[in-house]
Structure 1
Amino acid sequence: MLFLVQMQVNIPSTLDKATADALKKEEKEMSQKLQREGKWRDLWRVVGQYANVSVFNADSNDELHQMLSALPLYPFMNITVTPLAQHPSAIAAI
């Protein structure tokens, strides 16, 4: 199942720089691991924001929730999830 996931990151300015940098490093490592596994299919930066638009491939809603909530920056994110279905006019199969 494919999901469009929009993530807005809001790290508080009160979080010390070393902690924030460590979380960002862990986030990058985890996102790249999920991409290599084919779970995080697309990752796009939203220009001018600390945000991204992504496509995830998960077997269920529960698996997607588990992946998202395991992200190191999850406590600082506003996330919107939209389930996706193949459009009948699309020429490429999912």
Structure 2
Amino acid sequence: MLFHVQMDVNLPSDLPADVAGEIKAREKVYSQALQKSGKWRHIWRLVGEYANYSIFDVESNAELHDILTGLPLFPYMKISVTPLCRHPSSIRDDDV
């Protein structure tokens, strides 16, 4: 199942820099492992924002929920999820 996910991050201004840095480092390791597994297919930064658009390829809504709530930055995120399906005009075979 493919999902478009928008993640907007809002770290508190009073969060110590070392704590924020440690959370971001764990987030990078976690997200890159998911990308290597194929679950997190694409990630794009939104210019001028602390936000991203991502495409996930997972087995179920529950799996996506578990992945998203496992993000170290999850407590500081507003997340919007949109299910996707293959467009009949797509020429890509991997858009399942």
TM over 0.5: yes
CA distance in 1, matches of 2:90, 2:37: 25
Q: What CA deviation, in whole Å up to 9, does each residue of 1:44-80 have, x standing for no partner? A: 0000000000000110000000000000000000000
Superposition misfits of 4+ residues, deviation over 3 angstroms: none
RMSD, aligned α-carbons: 0.5
Partner in structure 1 of residue 92 of structure 2: 92
TM-score norm. by structure 1 comes to 0.98
Partner in structure 2 of residue 33 of structure 1: 33
TM-score norm. by structure 2 comes to 0.96
Partner in structure 2 of residue 19 of structure 1: 19
Partner in structure 2 of residue 53 of structure 1: 53
Q: What runs of 5+ residues in structure 1 fail to find an aligned partner?
A: none
Q: What runs of 5+ residues in structure 2 fail to find an aligned partner?
A: none
2:23 is matched by which residue type in structure 1? L
Q: How many residues align?
A: 94
1:85 is matched by which residue type in structure 2? C
